[in-house]
A and B are shown apart, each in its own frame.
Chain A
Amino acid sequence: MSKALYELTIHEALEGMRRKEFSAVELTRSLLERIEQVEDQVKAYLTVTADLALEQAAAADARRRAGEEAALLGIPMGIKDVLCTAGVRTTCGSRILENFIPPYTATAVQRLLDAGMVLLGKTNTDEFAMGSSTENSAYFPTRNPWALDRVPGGSSGGSAAAVAAQEAMAALGTDTGGSVRLPASYCGVVGLKPSYGRVSRYGLVAYGSSLDQIGVLAKDVRDAALVLTVMAGHDPHDSTSMPAPTPDYRAALTGDVRGLRIGLPEEYFIAGVQPEVEAAVRRALDVLVDLGAEVRPVSLPNTDKALPVYYLVATAEASANLARFDGVRYGYSAGADSILENYRLSRGRGFGAEVKRRIMLGTYALSAGYYDAYYLKAQQVRTLIKQDFERAFEQVDVIASPVAPTTAFRLGEKTDDPLAMYLSDVFTITLNLAGMCGVSVPCGFDQQGLPIGLQIMGPHLGEEIVLRVAHAYEQATDWRRRQAPLSIEA
């Protein structure tokens, strides 16, 4: 039985279009039909741009007929709704931006569009990317395609679920504390978080500016490497984007990991890790050893301090970043009688519970009398966490761990306990604090059929090495061939 077009990887689709087996319009129609079939169950998209997608697909076909071969020509993707898209509503999953239409497009998205990407729509997210389950979206929660009563992870849950449900060939997410890698793990897809500074943040609505980075959710490592190749690199609009050359990341996918040193941090194999998760990760390491890699113990002793550091640093930055929502220049306005009351009411009504909680925490950490004890202290411990990684990467090439302590939890299970929700990110936030890169790659399923993710972490600008290891592992295993068991309503 031949595959439906929506089932293809980006590479397969590019090859099919190059051979004139199908057009970008046909491919896009296939994805749009798939969205119609399964979106009621999954709820991955906040906005579907069907007409625009078909226009862009027709333009891609015209470019191809004219002899052009752009890197993503005619490839339909989803974009997390915290990335600005000119003329297309961008809500950040928040009521405060319910009717916001950006006047410009984020650099990362523009680079994909210039390379021929077709925009299928904007994917659901925890409000302002604050969350680990996508339940903090002001609109609706997204469901995990592998088990509809489970969360897809967050905050890029819409993007991960869209790829897992084959409602997008790939999608952009953002990762401030694990928001690409966690949903990738829960949804059984590949999630790449580049190093801080690798991809321009221009046009990404800011949450934690020293931590935010745009990443990719994809069906396989090769597709993720291709999307990164297109969007990486310096941008004069973002002075924190690195003026470093960007390779074609696909060239790193040699399949060869012989002699490669993989660090295993004991601090990531602790009580509270679901036994099936630990077992799957250890089996994945056995596979890499069989391929010729070497596993060594490493220590990241400040790992258990990362969560409080993150929730002080990220919220402090968020409290400043979200000050721009003032009910004056854009977004919801309460229309109160005084300007001060209008700030208070517009923000009080426009923001959801988690966003307010984080603004409060961050404001407190920065306020007079608490700055040294909380914010400054957190930044000092952040230095120690970064040094842990720097020391470890003197001994090993990459570090391997679980992405999360457990597989996907049930909708509603952690919504009343913010701290329990935050603990889902305990193995992913360390990389953001250190500014380094990592990838989540499927490495098995638990007894309930829920996907498990293997995290490969690398040093700053080490995307080639983490992609190489993830790809070698992926190609040696069959996990990517399993598909989420969605029923299709006639």
Chain B
Amino acid sequence: MHLTSDDVRHVADLARLHLTDEEVRLYTQQLSAILDYAERLQEVDTSGVPPTPYVLPLQNVMAEDIPQPSLPNEVALANAPDKANGFFRVRAVFEE
């Protein structure tokens, strides 16, 4: 077994995911099985092999700096769960 339930709770916290106890139990088991399977990568000799994060030869694609119309405020807010005075509204982030 790769993972403990505490590992799973820690990762869920990093990912900002609320998990039920049942989900923690299930993911501990399933993610361990997947990581066991991924162990076969360790057999591969990759010394000196560069990583491929991205397959295209394009790099640093530049665009002309031309002002373009953007979404109007009310359109940008149209799907917001909560809004006020032309802003997204959230609970206070800082304590008083």
State the A residues within 8 Å of B (CB). 99-101, 103-104, 196-197, 210, 236, 239-240, 242-243, 302, 304-305, 307-309, 311-312, 319, 323, 326-333, 335-340, 342-345, 347-349, 351, 353, 356-357, 359-361, 363-364, 367, 373-374, 376-384, 386, 418-419, 422, 433-435, 460
Contacts and interface: CB of A to CB of B under 8 A. Distances in A.
Given A377-B42, A380-B46, A337 B18 contact: no
B38 interface: yes
A374 B3 CA distance: 14
Given A239-B61, A360-B8, A380-B49, A344 B16 contact: yes
- Interface class of chain A by DSSP: helix
Nearest to B49: A380
A382 to B, nearest CB: 4
Interface string B71-96: 10001101111100000101111000
Interface residues of B, number: 50
B79 A374 contact: no
The 7 closest A-B pairs by CB, nearest first: A348-B18, A435-B55, A379-B51, A333-B81, A330-B79, A239-B61, A380-B46
A360 B17 contact: yes
B37 A382 contact: no
Contacts of A418: 30, 33-34
B88 A328 contact: yes
A302 B43 CA distance: 11
Contact of B52 (A331, A347, A379): A379
B44 A367 contact: no
Contacts of B20: 348
Interface in B23-69: 23, 27, 30-31, 33-35, 37-38, 40-42, 44, 46, 49-56, 58, 61, 63
A351 B11 contact: no
B1 interface: no
A344 B18 contact: yes
B37 A384 contact: no
A380 B55 contact: no
Contacts of A364: 3, 7, 11, 31, 35
A422 B41 CA distance: 16
Contact of A305 (B40, B80, B81): B40
